[in-house]
Amino acid sequence: MSRIDLSLATVDCAACPIRHRAVCASCEGEDLARLAAMKSYRTWKAGETIVLEGQALSFVASVVEGCATLTRSLEDGRMQMVGLLMPSDFVGRPGRTTAPYEVTAATKVTLCMFDRRAFERMMTETPHLAGRLLEMSLDELDAARDWMLVLGRKTAREKVATLLAIILRRAPTAARPLRAELPLTREAMAAYLGLTIETVSRQMTALRKDGLIRLDGARGILCEDLAALIAEAGDDGDGALLT
């Protein structure tokens, strides 16, 4: 069961770790205060369902910490992971009353939540907030198109390197070596990449032996040269890799 996160209830928006990357990045002064007045924080444990596919969605939210998966299901019960939500990503769509995907916490996840109707009203009255959400939606569309290339044309090695690079580019600090926690199990990585667990494990081992990554404990991953990992993913350094 999700929990209201009282430890974050009084956090100043200016001190928020996603402040300049989230939907509120364009808001200052009165606009930021208006968002702050309607926000609440809620936390889910790894494995808990945040939103069910088709469920009425009374809120929109920004991911403050953690990683969640987006999943779609078929009538016969088969399911496919179609996306990841990382810190600063947006959950929900203004104007849409139901959730198109199931959202599940892959790690401990904290959301900064806004009442959907109140947020929609603010969007109509605050054009730059609507513009920021449009910008984020277009980035998400570009990322989805890039992911089609990953799944359809890249080799197993390139697929694994791409996913690791995406995660490392969201590392909390830019200190070298970059360090991030893998938010997905090998099984979940395999499902997301369209590979077998054995193939994912082999490619992780190969990337480690080639010095492109190092492993740190059960989930930690270290990278001294992100550019080299991006090159191994089959992407250039000009932002072609989805973030």
63, pLDDT greater than 70: yes
Rounded average pLDDT over 162-185: 86
Summarize pLDDT for 76-95 with one digit per residue, the tens: 888 888 888 999 999 998 88
Under 8 Å between Cβ of 103 and 89: no
Nearest CA to 203 out of 164, 236, 237 is that of 164
pLDDT at 209 over 70: yes
Q: What angle do CA 112, 99, 144 make, to 5 degrees?
A: 85
- Residue whose token pair is 């090998």: 186
- Specify burial of residue 153 (Cβ count, 10 A radius: 0-12, 13-18, 19+): exposed
| CA–CA–CA angle 232, 207, 86 (5° rounding) | 75
Mean pLDDT value across the chain = 87
Residue 106 backbone phi and psi in degrees, to 5? -80, -30
The rounded distance, in Å, linking the Cα atoms of 76 and 149 is 27
Query: pLDDT tens for residues 122-159?
Result: 999 999 999 999 999 998 888 888 888 888 889 999 99
Q: Which residue has the higher pLDDT, 198 or 173?
A: 198
Average pLDDT over residues 37-59: 93
Handedness of CA 12, 14, 15, 20 (dihedral sign): positive
Element (H, E) at 78: none
Domains and CATH numbers, the chain: 3-135 (2.60.120.10), 154-232 (1.10.10.10)
Note the pLDDT of residue 8. 57
